[in-house]
Structure 1
Amino acid sequence: MSFPKDRKILRLVVILLALVGGFALFLGKGFFSGANLQSIAFQLPELGILTLAMMIAMITGGINLSIIAAANMSGIATAWVLTSFMVGSPVSIVVALLSGVVVSLCIGVINGVLVAYVGVSAILATLGTMTLVEGISVLLTQGSVISGFPSGFLFIGNGMIYGIPLPLVIFLFCALVMGVLLERTPFGVYSSMIGSNSKAAEFSGVPVKKVLVSVYVLSGLLAGIASIIMISRFNSARAGYASSYLLVTVLASVLGGVNPDGGFGRVGGVVLALIILQVISSGLNLLGLSSHLGLALWGAILIAVMVLPLLSGKNRSE
């Protein structure tokens, strides 16, 4: 573990502590109230899992613009099964979950094949997939909402296990698995090598095409998992949910230390970045300030995190 990487995590920890301290100073015990902490715990997971889906693509030097469209399409498939067959039965819930995941995996396969085997740039391939999937979703639903899910399914997005929100448990599990994959397996090493230099990785014997397909399939799987939490929490599914999350997932990934050009990224940094963004949002909401100020503050923190290391490096060189 190199020192610069440790400094990125340390910088995020300092920012988080400063924000928590600042909001606690202005809000007192209200910021640490059970209701506020529970609100953060329920809101973080779906954005967090979508960010992991974006992160894995960015590590390889690509991007996945279709994660929101894939999540919505997956959610629509899940909702359709839930409301059409054996409504409320455990079997219908299992089949619905599998249906949604299969849809998101298929979208991931399409992205992976376009990027790895056809040679389309990731941004254009996933932009095309996003547009295609959004169009199909609107066509299938006619822009309407599918709602009225069984209580067993709603528990996924709203239930608690020993006082801990189930969505948070799912997110932490996904983050743990991703951390192990990226830092403890050949798949993670290969992904970083591809992001650093795909040609050099290929000459080194890395199965670049297979790894890229696997990356986009994994990204699609994560989008499908996020969709399950999202539609369960809202008790509805439609084509336009979470459209504002796309750029936020990029912001959170870069803020968390993912190299925008590929080659490096740590799950721990991304999780810290997500907590920082959620703390800002919740704190400003409790203060009664505009959510637009939160967006501006997110951008300011991102710029600061990117610029400060460059300035410090320049000063050292001088």
Structure 2
Amino acid sequence: MKAFVRNFRASFGPDMGGPMVALVAVLLIFGLAADNFLSMATFGSVAFQLPELGLLTLAMLLPLLTGGINLSITFAANLSGLAAAWVWQTHGGVDAPTSAFLFACLAALGTGAATGALTGVAIAYTRAHPILVTLSMMIFLRGLGEFLTRGGDISGFPSYVGLIGHGSIFGLPVPLLIFLVCVATWHVLLTRSKLGFGLLMIGSNLEAAHYSGLNTRKIVVLVYTLSGIMCAIAGIIMLARFNSVRVGHGESYLLITVLAAFLGGINPFGGFGRVLPVFVALIVLQLLSSGLNLMGANQHLATALWGVLMIVVMAARTLASNSHIFRRKKA
């Protein structure tokens, strides 16, 4: 039995404990408080709503692991969606052929990659703080998007676009399948690639990583470029879900992505963290939101509780860290 427990912990890691406890607690609390919480309707709703927040969280994850942050993720996602919308509009709008789908996706991915690369270059070569650089990029993208759309929405897409946001394959929502593929890709990237090792080294100690022979500038640029690509995927999903694109779509997700990352055990100073605990944390947050909705709570209350949860998580982790240091000194 002890050997089984050791193997289980080795497979999932000690950082999985907090998210799993939170998941069980949410299931128990809302399962008892709301009669229809533990139902297929609830889990189906979560399955369709989770990918939007989840993809943006993955876009935030890599910069956080390097000790940085990307405050422009939602606007990069929407600008990428605008690029895809422009392709469909120029190919006939609702009558755009399926051949336009590839060009629209390439336009979105190229836009996301470009915004991420510009951000990464600015951070890597000027050594400016990521908060300042990404805040500046956020303001730029928002202003550019408002200029291009004149503050309005763009809608009128071919019917096959709706299948991306609302379709199902073998009973599983298409957005969820795309999200799961992205989670698996990020997991492999962080655990099996030199880039994953390098970005964790940078998050632990930038100077040590540089003197160990790593091309830290190249890694930082790649990290933010990949973050931009993930933003583009999120932008395509949001466009398909809402059947429209607007600069402000999903703006409230920004801080929730940071909360999900920290709840999933990501070190706020970089250098440590994994994808799977963050995935569980995202499920917890989405179930919490769905449970409050079923109980008739105002959506603003859910946002407030997410903020309280962030404070509690950070306080608990700080206390646990200080307790560990105290025990080591006492020993």
Under a length normalisation based on structure 1, what TM-score does the superposition of the two structures give? Answer: 0.95
CA distance in 2, matches of 1:312, 1:233: 40
1:15 equivalent in structure 2: 22
CA distance in 1, matches of 2:322, 2:128: 37
Percent sequence identity over aligned pairs? 47
2:148 maps to 1:140: yes
Cα offset, 1:314, TM superposition: 4.7
Number of matched pairs: 316
1:308 equivalent in structure 2: 316
2:188 maps to 1:188: no
Matches within 5 A, 1:184-263: 184-263=192-271
Taking a change above 3 Å as real, the CA distance of residues 264 and 312 of structure 1, as seen in their structure-2 partners, is: closer
2:79 equivalent in structure 1: 73
Cα offset, 1:309, TM superposition: 4.1
Tell me the amino acid that sits aligned with residue 236 of structure 2.
Answer: I
Structure 1, unaligned runs of 5 or more = none
Cα pair 2:256 2:306 within 8 Å, conserved: no
Cα offset, 1:99, TM superposition: 0.7
For 1:120, what is the secondary structure of its paired residue? coil
Cα offset, 1:120, TM superposition: 2.1
1:50 equivalent in structure 2: 56
For 1:281, what is the secondary structure of its paired residue? helix
CA distance in 1, matches of 2:83, 2:111: 7
Taking a change above 3 Å as real, the CA distance of residues 90 and 176 of structure 1, as seen in their structure-2 partners, is: same
Matches within 5 A, 1:56-205: 56-86=62-92, 87-205=95-213
Cα pair 1:255 1:270 within 8 Å, conserved: yes
Quote the RMSD (CA, aligned, Å).
1.7
Structure 2, unaligned runs of 5 or more = 1-6
Tell me the amino acid that sits aligned with residue 85 of structure 1.
Answer: H
Cα pair 2:60 2:258 within 8 Å, conserved: yes
* Deviation readout 1:29-62 (Å, 9 max, x if unpaired): x112222211111111011010011010010011
Under a length normalisation based on structure 2, what TM-score does the superposition of the two structures give? Answer: 0.91
Taking a change above 3 Å as real, the CA distance of residues 303 and 173 of structure 1, as seen in their structure-2 partners, is: same
* Deviation readout 1:253-294 (Å, 9 max, x if unpaired): 111111111111110111111111001100000000122322
Taking a change above 3 Å as real, the CA distance of residues 140 and 310 of structure 1, as seen in their structure-2 partners, is: closer
Tell me the amino acid that sits aligned with residue 285 of structure 2.
Answer: L
Superposition misfits of 4+ residues, deviation over 6 angstroms? none
Taking a change above 3 Å as real, the CA distance of residues 315 and 62 of structure 1, as seen in their structure-2 partners, is: closer
Cα pair 1:88 1:152 within 8 Å, conserved: no
Cα offset, 1:27, TM superposition: 1.6
Tell me the amino acid that sits aligned with residue 33 of structure 1.
Answer: S
Cα offset, 1:298, TM superposition: 2.0
Cα offset, 1:217, TM superposition: 0.3
